[in-house]
Amino acid sequence: MPLESVPFSELLRQPVETTERLSRARAVRLRRRDAADLVLMSADRAAAEGEVVDLTARLLASVVRREPALVREVLPTVLPWVRFLPPQDVEQMADEFVATAEAAAALGSTAALSQLLTEWRHSAEIHADPDLHRILAEPSSDDFGPVTRPAGE
């Protein structure tokens, strides 16, 4: 089923019509101009998707306990950018991925898993670019001075 997309204001102006779209789509994306988009879905669908994520994470963790090398073997077919990582990093990433997926499923939040994938993807980007990798791998003895506190902290 496709994901329909509508302006957030449509939900405010026509709530019944907008929510009826859920009968034709698994979810409705509510586009907002000045903030992050939202996704509207039925509670039953959200619960079902959460159950699938939980089951998949536990199943993956169980398979890895039996065949640790299996995840490392298939990871490059699922995440092609993994090929840019050194072999020892692929092992570490696979271990972290399984542990984080299992923990994230237990919490009912995939945010930590998404963050982990983002961090490893950035590492792969560095390894894929020889110039960038050389620059970042060079030892530095320079003192770059004090660091200012980020705004909002």
Answer with the residue of higher pLDDT: 104 or 13: 13
**Does some domain include residue 152?**
no
Q: Are residues 59 and 20 in the same domain?
A: no
pLDDT surpassing 80 at residue 153: no
Q: What is the pLDDT of residues 56-84, one digit of tens each?
A: 888 887 887 788 788 888 889 999 999 99
Tally the residues of the chain: 153
Q: Are residues 131 and 72 in the same domain?
A: yes
Q: Are residues 36 and 82 in the same domain?
A: no
Tell me the C-alpha distance between 121 and 80, whole Å: 10
Q: How many domains does the chain divide into?
A: 2
pLDDT band for 2, please (50, 70, 90 cuts): low
Q: Are residues 94 and 76 in the same domain?
A: yes
Q: What would the DSSP string read from start to end of 66-85?
A: H-HHHHHHHHHHHSGGGGGS
Query: What is the side-by-side order of every strand in the sheet holding 38-40?
Result: 3-7, 27-31, 38-40
**Which structural domain range is residue 27 located in?**
11-41
Q: Are residues 32 and 93 in the same domain?
A: no
pLDDT band for 95, please (50, 70, 90 cuts): confident
